[in-house]
C-alpha cells in the first residue's frame, strides 16, 4: 500500500486561507495468474480536516460558499483554483 499526505490550499479573494488535509491510500492491483488471484487497484481517502487561517474548522462552520469550496478541495485533484501538495508517507 502507498500512502500520501495530501494538503490542498485555497486563498479567498479577501486573503483568507482555507486548507484541506487528508491521507490518501493506494493499493496496486494484481492482474497476473488465474482470475481468482487477480484484483483491481483500490483507492481510499481518510476523512479530511479543514483549517481556516490556521484554526481547525468543521465544514458546517463555514459559509455556504466556503463549504462548497472545501468539498471541491477534497474531491478534486486538478482544480486550478487550488494549490496541491502531496508527500509520500512511510508505511
Q: What is the pTM of this model?
A: 0.81
pLDDT of residue 67: 95
Q: Which three cell numbers stand for residue 7?
A: 494538503
Nearest to 3 by CA among 31, 50, 44, 41: 44
pLDDT of residue 91: 58
Asked if pLDDT for residue 82 goes beyond 90, the answer is yes
Return the domain boundaries, the chain: 2-89
Higher pLDDT, residue 17 or 91: 17
How many whole angstroms separate alpha carbon 17 and alpha carbon 62? 12
Asked if pLDDT for residue 84 goes beyond 80, the answer is yes
- Note the pLDDT tens digit of each residue in 31-66: 888 888 888 888 888 999 999 999 999 999 999 999
What is the percent of the chain where pLDDT is above 90? 66
Q: Residue 49's beta-bridge partner residues?
A: 21
Amino acid at each position: 500500500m502507498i500512502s500520501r499526505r495530501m494538503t490542498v490550499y485555497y486563498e479567498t479573494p479577501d486573503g483568507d486561507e482555507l486548507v484541506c488535509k487528508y491521507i490518501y491510500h493506494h493499493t496496486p492491483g494484481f492482474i497476473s495468474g488465474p482470475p481468482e488471484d487477480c484484483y483491481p487497484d483500490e483507492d481510499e481517502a481518510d476523512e479530511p480536516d479543514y483549517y481556516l487561517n490556521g484554526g481547525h474548522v468543521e465544514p458546517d462552520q463555514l459559509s455556504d460558499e466556503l463549504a462548497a469550496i472545501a468539498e471541491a478541495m477534497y474531491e478534486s485533484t486538478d482544480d486550478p483554483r487550488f494549490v496541491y501538495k502531496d508527500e509520500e508517507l512511510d508505511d
